[in-house]
Amino acid sequence: MKNFLFVMRDPPYQGSSIRESLDMMMTVAAFDQSVKVLFLDDGVFLLKPGQCPHNSSLRPTAPLFAALEMYDVEGLWAEQESLTERGLDSSELIVPVRSLRRTEIAFFLATADIVVSC
Amino acid sequence: MKFAIQINSAPWESQGGDTAYQFSRAALKLGHEIVRIFFYYEGAYHGLRWMAPPDDEKPLLQRWSALAAEQGVDLVICISAAHRRGLLEQTEATRMGKLDNDLAAGFRIAGLGLWVDACLKADRFLVFGA
């Protein structure tokens, strides 16, 4: 078994890439591999509560993250500084996440066998 | 060493695909193995057979097809990424009642399972154009 770490750095509603990233996570989980997700930079906006998208061509992404729990995704992490800089509180997100400090990110990435930036 | 490669950017969008191509050629030359090159997101466009760039630009498509023909490298485009963008292989297009035959020589269309398979078989996994 390998440890997969997906790094999400882009905000929601930027094309369909979020949906495609989630497809990768779910496929990896279906192969009984370890899946972790790290939210960095504008990627933390994916976790913002109260999203109310009105663009009819892009579907809301928040429910997709809520569904990740069903797919044995091992855990979600967010960088504390990314949250703070954007006025987000780690205790008030759409799904529970653990927070990491910026100085811990390099070590965290090094613990994964496969890092997928998406 | 065995490498699995993923390309996420469209051919004209960034340097990513070109760098991945150069890397693959160099790795093979040094005796390494390329388990698979997987095209995802906008990277799916690398396999569009109807690309017709001006003559003074790099023949990106022909280079990929040549890599597959000469070295037997497995070039796989994700099926859901391809379908979402209207890139259909002939059999699948017929099933959908369409006339498309969009896949260039040397490429095949398959599911994300092959991407995971490549990751598990490889010693190193590299993402280009992320």
Please report the pLDDT score of residue B13 as a whole number: 87
Under-70 pLDDT residues of chain A: 15-16, 56
Task: Calculate how close chain B gets to A30, using CA atoms only, in Å.
Answer: 9
In total, the C-beta contacts within 8 angstroms joining chain A to chain B are: 37
The answer to whether residue B125 neighbours chain A at the CB level (below 8 Å) is yes
Best mutation target, B3, B8, B14, to test chain A (most A CBs within 10 A)? B8
Which one is the CATH code of B2-128: 1.10.10.60, 3.40.50.10420, 3.40.1260.10, 3.90.1640.30? 3.40.1260.10
For the cut 70, the answer to whether the pLDDT of residue B23 exceeds it is yes
For the cut 80, the answer to whether the pLDDT of residue B17 exceeds it is yes
Contact A78, A47 (CB under 8 A): yes
Is there a contact between A118 and B130 if contact means CB atoms under 8 Å apart?
yes
Listed by start position, the domains of chain B span 2-128
Going along chain A from its start, the domains and CATH numbers come out as 3-117 (3.40.1260.10)
Using the 8-state DSSP alphabet, how is residue B57 labeled?
S
Which H or E element spans position B124? strand B124-128
Task: Calculate how close chain B gets to A75, using CA atoms only, in Å.
Answer: 19
- pLDDT digit string, tens, across residues B65-119: 999 999 999 999 999 999 999 999 999 999 999 999 999 999 999 999 999 999 9
The answer to whether residue A114 neighbours chain B at the CB level (below 8 Å) is yes
- pLDDT digit string, tens, across residues B37-47: 999 999 999 99
Q: Which one, of A2, A6, A47, lies nearest residue A25 by Cα?
A: A6
What's the pTM value of the predicted model, to 2 decimals? 0.92
CA dihedral of B38, A114, B8, A67, whole degrees rounded to 10: 100
Best mutation target, B41, B79, B83, B85, to test chain A (most A CBs within 10 A)? B41
Please report the pLDDT score of residue A64 as a whole number: 83
Between CA A89 and CA A91 the distance in angstroms is 5
Please report the pLDDT score of residue A24 as a whole number: 95
